[in-house]
Chain A
Amino acid sequence: MKPKKNKITEKTFSKSHIAYVKRLRRDKFLIIFFRIFLLVAFIGLWELLTATNVIDPFFISSPSRIMSQIVALAKDGTLLNHTWVTLYETLIGFAIATVLGYIIAVLLWWNEKVRKVFEPYIVVLNSLPKIALGPIIILWVGAGTNAIIMMCVLICIVITTMSMLSAFLSVEEGKILLLKSMNANKFQIFFKLVLPSAMPEFVSVLKINVGMSWVGSIMGEYLTSKAGLGYLIVYGGQIFKIDLVMAATVILCILAFAMYYFVSLLEKKYNPKTKA
């Protein structure tokens, strides 16, 4: 049934349109093909060059060594543990930073005077490299998971607040006036207008935070940790076991991509501009 239907619809279009659609399809296919090709070629070349000892796998590892490293980690049960530790820190840090950063942005939007008072502090906090606060964080909340989550939160929260605040403030003045002419109070202006119109910005903040929260948790693990992917990377580096470093990095890539993918699903829902 289906192909028949297609034929009918195609017949109603002009030749140039069919050619155009064909061209579109071909371009899309080419793009996907080269994406996959690049990955396969990269891995293949890497494997080939290290297997033939053109380059030394001691320094750059090789795909097969990374695979067997991951399998080994999985067998002794540590893979799941390390991955979970880092994922947990990242997700908690991501959630706290996003929620808290959003709430702070709302408070700053609510009161102009408060906003003006805090403006210079936020600018300074934003330009400060958060890693510099590492020792202070450890002193305050102790070494371990808390410190790592704290680092993650610090890295994400300022950018969340700044982006959300600027999105809140960029709402068209006339629309606020419209609601005021309808006798709306500040709560209603926020929930009926400001929050929904800042939704696309919120999704892009989520996307930024996905990247930033991984930066935060790995940096935190460099600073102080007993487990986690960041710990594996540091440990692997110290004992010159590049396979371990690479294996942890590959897992990180996969996790970060998965998290980014979930957020981009949200984007399709809330950002009509990206809906083709």
Chain B
Amino acid sequence: MGNLLSFKNVNYFYQTKNDEIFALNNVTFDTSEQSFMSIIGPSGCGKTTILSLAAGLLKPSSGEITLDGEKQIDSKKIGYMFQKDFLFEWRSVWKNITLGLEIQKPKNIDEKLALAEELLKKYDLFSFKDQKPRSLSGGMRQRVALIRTLALEPKLLLLDEPFSALDYQTRLTLCDDVHSIIKSEKKTAILVTHDISEALSMSDKIVVLSGRPATVKEILPINLPGKTPLKRRENQQSGELFDHLWRQLINDETKEK
């Protein structure tokens, strides 16, 4: 399958009053269609910057980003999911999910509304449709946030540590849910995380970044047996890979000091 997103020699500088921060140094990678890619790296290295660039919220200082073969990023092809669910408390679950549709007003809105309803039913949230988000648990809230993103039918999902605010158990089950939702909806996803085992259990490919300014240290294809992230976590091989990735990250941090 072809490439959906590619970064070619991308550099990025943040401008502040007193300084210019070199965030991304010559970052190059490709994400193929219907794949699940993770980006890991030491904290503050610029993982979120990559997502913001991919979403077109930031423009690269130099280098080239192409989405779906186009250099001009069409943000309608992107779905962005954040660390926090950012549900609007004054809107019902249904109104939260259709927020993006209200804003973009697509021509085939009826189809998309039907899709949103179907997603709600499929992922056991339909009975909470008219409730306010505050009556939902943390895991349910993130699932609502995911459906809000999927309702716009993006080609590429950008996940910015969407599980990190949850407790461990919820996190494991939600990982499974999200993974199966993304796979069954045939979406392409990029996950940013600092959790190595999470990256291992979910992805087909892991991009390891160095500390700031971030360069790509390694692009590691993952081919663990097991359909769900939970099954993959149990795998022997995943222990070895974990060690390998752990050393990559640790090396970098000690070098910094």
Question: By the criterion CB–CB under 8 Å, are A197 and B103 in contact?
Answer: no
Knowing A174-B82, A174-B84 are in contact, say whether A179-B89 is a contact too (CB < 8 A).
no
| Chain A interface bracket (under 10, 10 to 19, 20 to 34, 35 or more) | 10 to 19
Cross-chain contact A183 with B90 (CB below 8 angstroms): no
Judge if B209 is at the interface, Cβ distance under 8 Å.
no
Q: Complex formed: what's the CA distance from A178 to B104 in Å?
A: 13
Q: Which residues between 167 and 218 of chain A lie within 8 Å of chain B, taking CB atoms? A: 172, 174-175, 177-184, 188, 192-193, 196-197, 199
Q: In the complex, which residues 108-157 of chain B have their Cβ closer than 8 Å to any Cβ of chain A?
A: 132, 134, 152
Contact between A181 and B55, CB atoms less than 8 A apart: yes
Q: Which residues of A contact B57 (CB under 8 A)?
A: 177, 180-181
In the complex, what's the smallest C-beta–C-beta distance from A106 to chain B, in angstroms?
19
B75 contacts A181, C-beta separation under 8 Å: yes
B78 CB to nearest A CB, Å? 7
Residue in B76, B80, B88 whose beta carbon sits within 8 Å of that of A175 in the complex = B88
C-alpha gap A15/B141 in the complex (Å): 36
User: Contacts A177-B82, A178-B82, A180-B57 given: A196-B103 contact, CB under 8 Å?
Assistant: no
| Binary A-proximity of B70-109 (CB < 8 A = 1, otherwise 0) | 0000011011101110101110000000011011100000
Q: A180-B57, A182-B152 are in contact. Are A192 and B89 (CB under 8 A)?
A: no
Bound Cα distance A188, B101 (Å): 12
Residues B88 and A193 in contact, CB atoms below 8 Å apart: yes
Q: Name the distance in Å between B72's Cβ and chain A's nearest Cβ.
A: 13
| A179 contacts across to B, CB distance below 8 A | 103
Instruction: Contact check, A183 vs B75: say whether CB atoms are below 8 A apart.
Output: yes
In the complex, are the beta carbons of B86 and A183 less than 8 A apart?
A: no
Residues of chain B lying within 8 A (CB to CB) of residue A172: 86
> B residues within 8 A CB of A182?
75, 99-100, 103-104, 152
B148 CB, nearest partner CB in chain A, Å: 9
Q: Does A3 sit at the interface, judged by CB under 8 A?
A: no
Asked whether any CB of chain B lies closer than 8 Å to the CB of A272, the reply is yes
Contacts of A272 in B (CB 8 A): 89-90, 132, 134
Would you give the shortest CB distance from A38 to chain B, in whole angstroms? 37
Given A177-B82, A178-B82, A181-B75, verify A196-B88 contact (CB < 8 Å): yes
Given that A174-B82, A183-B75 are contacting pairs, would A188 and B88 also be in contact in the complex, using a CB cutoff of 8 Å?
no
In the complex the two chains form, is A174's CB within 8 Å of B78's CB? no
Complex: how many Å from CA A37 to CA B132?
41
Chain A positions within 8 Å of B104 at CB level: 182-183
Query: In whole angstroms, what is the CA distance A178 to B75 when docked?
Result: 12
Q: Which residues of the partner chain B approach A184 to less than 8 Å between Cβ atoms?
A: 103
A contact residues around B99 at 8 Å (CB): 182, 192
Name the A residues within 8 Å of B100 (CB-CB).
182
Contact of B86 among A175, A188, A192, A196 (CB under 8 A): A175
**Cα distance A196–B132 when bound, in Å?**
14
Docked Cα-Cα span, A151 to B89, in Å, equals 38
Q: Which residues of A contact B83 (CB under 8 A)?
A: 174
Least CB separation from A184: chain B residue:
B103
* Residues of chain A within 8 A of B76, CB atoms compared: 183
Distance, CA A123 to CA B79, complexed state (A): 42
- A184 and B104 CA atoms in complex are apart in Å by 7
Complex Cα distance, B152 from A36, in Å, reads 58
Which residues of chain B have C-beta atoms less than 8 A from A196's C-beta?
Answer: 88, 90
Closest to B51 in A: A181
The closest CB in chain A to the CB of B145 belongs to A178
A127 to B45, CA, bound (A): 45
Residue of B nearest to A189 (CB): B103
Q: Please, which residues of chain B bring their CB within 8 A of the CB of A180?
A: 57
Assembled-state Cα–Cα distance A192/B96 (Å): 11
In the assembled complex, which residues on chain A have CB atoms less than 8 Å from the CB atom of B75?
181-183
A199 to B75, CA, bound (A): 30
Q: Chain A contacts of B132 at CB under 8 A?
A: 272
By a CB distance below 8 angstroms, the chain B residues around A178 are: 80, 82, 86
User: Could you tell me which B residues sit within 8 Å of A by CB distance?
Assistant: 55, 57, 75-76, 78-80, 82-84, 86, 88-90, 99-100, 102-104, 132, 134, 152
9 shortest interchain CB distances as A-B pairs = A181-B80, A182-B100, A184-B103, A183-B75, A178-B86, A175-B86, A196-B90, A182-B103, A188-B103
In the complex, 28 of the A-B residue pairs with CB atoms within 8 angstroms, ordered by the A residue number, are A172-B86, A174-B82, A174-B83, A175-B86, A175-B88, A177-B57, A177-B82, A178-B80, A178-B82, A179-B103, A180-B57, A181-B55, A181-B79, A181-B80, A182-B75, A182-B99, A182-B100, A182-B104, A182-B152, A183-B76, A183-B103, A184-B103, A188-B103, A192-B103, A197-B88, A199-B90, A272-B89, A272-B132
In the complex, besides A180-B57, A197-B88, A272-B132, 4 extra interface pairs with C-beta distance below 8 angstroms are A183-B104, A192-B102, A272-B90, A272-B134
